Amino acid sequence: MSKLYIVGVGPGSKDYLTLASKKVVESSDMVIGSRRALDLFETPNEIELKAQNMKEMIELAVSMVGEGKIVSLLSTGDPGFSGILKPILELKKNIGIEVIPGISSVQLCAAKLKIPWDEANLITMHGKGISMDILDIIDNGKPTIILPNFKPAELAKFLIENSVSPEREVAICERLSYGDEKVIKTSLKSILGMEFSYMCVMVVY
């Protein structure tokens, strides 16, 4: 029976793949995903998804399901948080869809820093830019876990310019689950002069 599986593949390391994700991908007629997501599996039938062709690849996945195929569309982290679940649902296509959750970098960040993440503010800025909404919650007494829009320094500058103390404690978790992962704690002002991989999570305490 044809179906579109939206598969969360975790933060990047094979160690964080779920058995469910492996089973689904191995049983699919076609697997579509970014290069780093595809490299987590051994799949003979795969198509690489890139930022510039994402819409085209999502529509291809949907059309293949319409032709009777089982397709896995890979989403780094978890599909429901800054993943590809939302754009799929926005297509409003009448096809069978099943979501296989994955380990989000937000979850892994919370684990590394020993933050109960159900007691934290969660914000994603991926693909959205910096939102003024962060100013409404940044001082509510909870740590704020943020997926920044690629450059933590830009977010740090924005917060300082909007009266957040430059001495505010922050943490950056970079390339989580990879062999070269880094977790640092510093001040907001220190972030201004630092460069990080686009694969990072920022926490403002």
Backbone Cα Rg of the chain: 18
pLDDT at 93: 80
pTM of the model: 0.89
Higher pLDDT, 203 or 129: 203
Tell me the β-bridge partners of 118: none
Query: With respect to CATH, is domain 106-204 assigned 3.30.950.10?
Result: yes
Which pLDDT does position 10 carry in this prediction?
Answer: 95
Residue 116 is encoded by which pair of tokens?
A: 């109960």
Report DSSP letters for 55-116, one per residue.
HHHHHHHHHHHHTT-EEEEEESB-TTTTSSHHHHHHT---S-EEEE----HHHHHHHHTT--
Confidence of residue 130 (pLDDT cuts 50, 70, 90): confident
CATH number of 3-103: 3.40.1010.10
pLDDT per position as a tens digit, 88-127: 888 878 899 999 999 999 999 999 999 998 999 999 988 7
Return the half-sphere exposure (C-beta side, CA atoms, 13 A cut-off) of residue 2. Answer: 11
Residue 49 is predicted with a pLDDT of 82
- pLDDT tens figures, 5-25: 999 999 999 999 999 999 999
Domain extent listing, the chain: 3-103, 106-204
